[in-house]
Structure 1
Amino acid sequence: MFYYKMDGHLLCSARHDLPFPAVEPPADAPKAVFLFEADPQSCRASFSVGHPGQLAQPESIRWLDASRLPDGDPDPLLGRLIQEGRLRAVNYRHPQWESLISCTPDKRKKRVNILAIGDVGSTLLTGLKLLGQDVISSIGICDLSEKTTARWEFEMNQISLPWAYDAMPEVEVIPPDRLFDCDLFVFVASKGIPPVGSGVKDVRMAQFETNSKIVAHYAKLAREQKFKGLWAAVSDPVDPLAKTAYLASNQNEAGEFDGQGLRPEQIQGFGLGVMNARAAYFAKRDPRFASFLTEGRSFGPHGQELVVANSLAHYDDALSQELTHLVVTANLKMREIGFKPYVAPALSSGALSLLLMLRGEWHCGSVFLGGIFMGVKNRYTATGLETELLPSIPDPLFARIQYAADHLATVI
């Protein structure tokens, strides 16, 4: 391993010929940046290193399972920094790599802008208003309907604690040209949702064709405005739409990928939260699934290829498949009752997950993993995006996760 200094930052690399002053590694270094080289389209531009194997093996779903990563034997300094969560990896081939070297956590409250205030957007907005005072400074709302935004500005700003009138974030109507004047952009726009009783079995994927065009439009605007905040895809289907935003924002006028748009780790899809919550709902009502509440996990897309595990320690494939089916079809049950299933998604996948993300806490979300956006447990740390690294994933469960990943790769 070779060490360098650049503008006061300690860099390390397997290459001996980088154009920076070489230095001896200080044993007490508080942090460092590992420079790796990979195709910018296939991996995150930067991430928090949780295992030495992540420095040796290309980004993939294997990064979720320590037992499937090469052990590696980093030098003592790197080993210590990885163990302490103080090593950031940066792709030296990414066009924006230099700006990632000096990234530092921003602990101020965040400005959140929401696009589209329909059923989901208004419910999500309500959750952020009521619960986000510790991490949100203000909320901007934008919609095609001026009456809709006028209504929700009027309603939201009349929600207040007595004698603590500034405790909750103010809500402001904003025009489209201010959408990316924020730290977190929340995409909740949707077009062509199949009505209740339409008979459409996979409502989420039915929305992809129309919603992807809207996403691409705003992703290009984010590129033009050099947006540096986080992009949250809440509209269905969240996983393909997250990738649509990534690809569209990184295309130049000739349609070529140039890496000058949103970085993969800037984008996250928010659909897994409600699937995880629905699994908990059924686990509370059937003792056979009770292990999910303490040992379970959910992976994959917000849709048919969802993977729910009844337990990581005592995985039962048949039980897990049954629980997964209940979760995947829960939205159809609500439609059979005669209502659109949007309240739980807007709060569990939307408001609650977004707030956990802003607080740097573990949450469910779809993040970039080797060319796809995949739903996993993750968080943002001082050294970048971190995905949960489990000690070992049972083979039958890993096979299900791999199948879901392979399917996502065929969608877009």
Structure 2
Amino acid sequence: MKRSYHISEVPAAIGVSELLRLDYNPLCRKPKKVHILALGDVGMTMLLGLRLLGADVIQSLGICDINTNNTERLEMEMNQVRYPFAGTADASYPMLPPVGIIDEASLFACDVFIFCASKGVPPVGVVGDVRMSQLEANLELVRHAAALAGEAAFKGLVCIVSDPVDPLCRAFFMESGLRPAQIQGYGLGVMNARACYYAERNEAYSRYLTEGRAFGPHGQDLVLADSLSEYNDVLSRQLTGLVVHANSMVRELGYKPYIAPALSSAALSILLTLRGQWHYGSVYLGDAGNGAYFGVKNRMTEQGPVYEDAAVCSLLYERLKQAYVNLAELPWK
């Protein structure tokens, strides 16, 4: 029996024999013009994180929303968030990237496009994994944006933040005609952060902090491994269950769980991408017509995105394979 497997072998489960190469770098120009579509709770919080922390890699932030009062308010308030004395001769503080209002026609006149649009976000009081309930409504929105990207012959990076991240990434890829390396999903970062939260509070899961990994989708099929080298299936599944239901615990307190996703999955992970550093995100594993965007540790290089093709044991591989197959079977149109 084979002792170990690799992430790159998972697509064989759906008959993919040769993976599309992720050999395109959509982030050639520095610093980046970043445009954001839709600024609800997640988009607004992410915008704040990008402005505060992204001065080294972001030239400007363009915002677009159907609610013009919202964009006008955010243009004022975000540009009023700044360091004192920035830009003066005696200051060492950075000038933060300016925030400006853009229209739909200008969405893809940028280097990085971030999709935060969402329909039918479940209200406070709804418990359980609500992400998949948004798939049908958000597919319509992502297809519209993908068509605009295709018409603009967009050459930059598309960041999908809206739920469910992974099938929306595939829909954007299939509908836009863009290269698979141009699209990445940002939902796994917060799952890793939540795993760390629980690992810090329970010694049984503490190995995750130094040896663990997160894989797969931002939802029920999430796969956490407490350790790559000494994987414990029982502990890993227990930790995965805690993390998957963490958003329900916030909802039970009467709040929408958007702060950690907006910062850990979106703002911080997108900035790491722009800097070419390791982060969690969903990249395409498949061929031209069959595959899925799958969450892994990855980074952007001059040749394109590179993911950690980790060696895993058979028990962990079976979990990864099932999560990938489930993603591949989800509708994207």
TM-score scaled by length of structure 1: 0.72
**Residues 59 and 282 (structure 1), Cα distance of their counterparts in 2 relative to 1, 3 Å cut:** closer
- Aligned-partner residue type, residue 300 of structure 2: Y
Deviation (angstroms), 1:60: 4.5
Identical-pair percentage: 53
Q: How far apart in 1 are the matches of 2:137 and 2:165? A: 13
Distance in 1 of aligned mates of 2:53 and 2:262:
14
Alignment of 1:202 onto 2:151: no
CA distance in 2, matches of 1:328, 1:340: 15
**Structure 2 residue 107 is the aligned partner of structure 1 residue 179:** yes
Report the equivalent of 1:407.
326
Matched with 2:267 is 351
**Structure showing the higher helix proportion among its residues:** 2
Aligned length: 311
1:161-180 paired onto structure 2 within 5 Å: 161-165=83-87, 167-180=95-108
The residue number in structure 1 matching 2:185 is 269
Structure 2 stretches lacking a partner, 5+ long: 1-5, 88-93
Match in the other structure for 1:289: 205
Does structure 2 retain, via aligned residues, the 8 Å contact 1:60–1:369?
A: no
Q: Secondary structure at the match of 1:274?
A: helix
CA contact (8 A) 1:180 1:227 kept: yes
Compute the displacement of 1:106 (Å). 2.3
- Residue 123 to residue 104, structure 1, CA distance change in 2 (3 Å): closer
Instruction: Give the CA deviation at 1:61.
Output: 3.1
- 1:161 deviation in Å? 1.2
| DSSP-derived class of the 1:193 partner | coil
* Structure possessing the higher radius of gyration over alpha carbons: 1
List per-residue Cα deviations over 1:297-345 (Å, max 9, x = no partner): 0000000000000111111000000000000000000000110000000
Query: 1:376, CA displacement in angstroms?
Result: 0.3
SS, match of residue 283 in structure 1: helix
Query: How far off is 1:382 after superposition?
Result: 1.2
2:255 aligned with 1:339: yes
> Relative contact order, CA 8 A, sep 6+: which one is greater?
2
Contact 2:26 2:155 in 1 (8 A): no
Note the 1:252-263 alignment, pairs <5 A. Answer: 261-263=177-179
In structure 1, what residue type is equivalent to 2:270? Answer: L
In structure 1, distance between residues paired with 2:10 and 2:107? 33
Q: Is the 8 A contact 1:104 1:382 kept in 2?
A: no
In structure 1, what is the equivalent of residue 162 of structure 2? 235
Letter in 2 for 1:174: I
Separation (CA, whole Å) in 2 of partners of 1:320 and 1:104: 35
Relative distance call for 1:288 and 1:105 in structure 2 (3 A) is same
CA displacement at 1:107 relative to structure 2: 5.1
Q: What is the aligned counterpart of 2:312 among 366, 369, 393?
A: 393
Structure 1 residues 396 and 111 mapped into 2: Cα distance closer, same or farther (>3 Å)? same
Question: Secondary structure of 2:312's partner?
Answer: coil
Alignment of 1:107-146 (within 5 A): 108-146=30-68
- SS class of match (1:207): helix
Q: What do the CA deviations read for 1:29-49 (whole angstroms, capped 9, x no partner)?
A: xxxxxxxxxxxxxxxxxxxxx
Q: Distance in 2 between matches of 1:182 and 1:244?
A: 21
Please state how far the C-alpha of 1:144 moved relative to its aligned partner. 0.4
1:311 aligns with 2:230: no
1:378 aligned residue: 298
1:400 match: secondary structure: helix
Matched, 1:156 2:93: no
Aligned-residue CA RMSD (Å): 2.2
| Offset at residue 202 of structure 1 (A) | 2.5
Q: Does 1:302 align with 2:218?
A: yes
Q: Which residue of 1 aligns with 2:283?
A: 367
